[in-house]
A = this chain, B = another copy of it.
Amino acid sequence: MLLKRMLNQSSPLDRTFQALADPTRRALIERLSRSPASVSDLARPLAMSLPAVMQHLAVLEGSGLVVSEKTGRVRTCRIEPQAMSLAEEWINARRAEWERRLDRLGNYLQQLKVDGGKNGSDE
């Protein structure tokens, strides 16, 4: 039910961050960042049932972070970097914002120091 709600009502960024908020799903992404893999290859090192792994993969596919393709009886998964870029861009925009703020604060403190110096020598 949680999965269904996530897939129906949330924005792409919600789904991406939600997908990344689980250690198993991050492990799957880490594995797939190295190379595409079949569902059974992905499941092998994990201490959980195949259906549990498939549910995590469904969340990853719902978020767009992973795509899969079935050839014969083998489903192969691979990373789709676009969805991760969205998350990356959002974080970068926040960082840019607070770095600008720190710069402004630094300039202000510098100005205070300059003005303080002036006052000190003038008076």
Main secondary structure on chain A at its contact with chain B? helix
Task: Tell me, yes or no, whether A14 is within 8 Å of chain B by CB.
Answer: yes
CB pair B98–A33 under 8 Å, yes or no, is yes
Q: Which B residues lie within 8 Å of A97 (CB)? A: 30, 33-34
Copies in the complex: 2
Given A18-B18, A23-B14, the answer on whether A94 and B84 have CB atoms closer than 8 Å is yes
Interface centre among A22, A29, A33, A34 (most CB of B within 10 A): A33
Task: Tell me, yes or no, whether A21 is within 8 Å of chain B by CB.
Answer: yes
- Given the complex of chains A and B, what is the CA–CA distance between A24 and B4 in angstroms? 20
Task: Tell me, yes or no, whether A119 is within 8 Å of chain B by CB.
Answer: no
Q: A residues touching B (Cβ–Cβ < 8 Å)? A: 10-11, 13-18, 20-23, 26, 29-30, 33-35, 79, 81, 84, 87-88, 90-92, 94-95, 97-98, 101
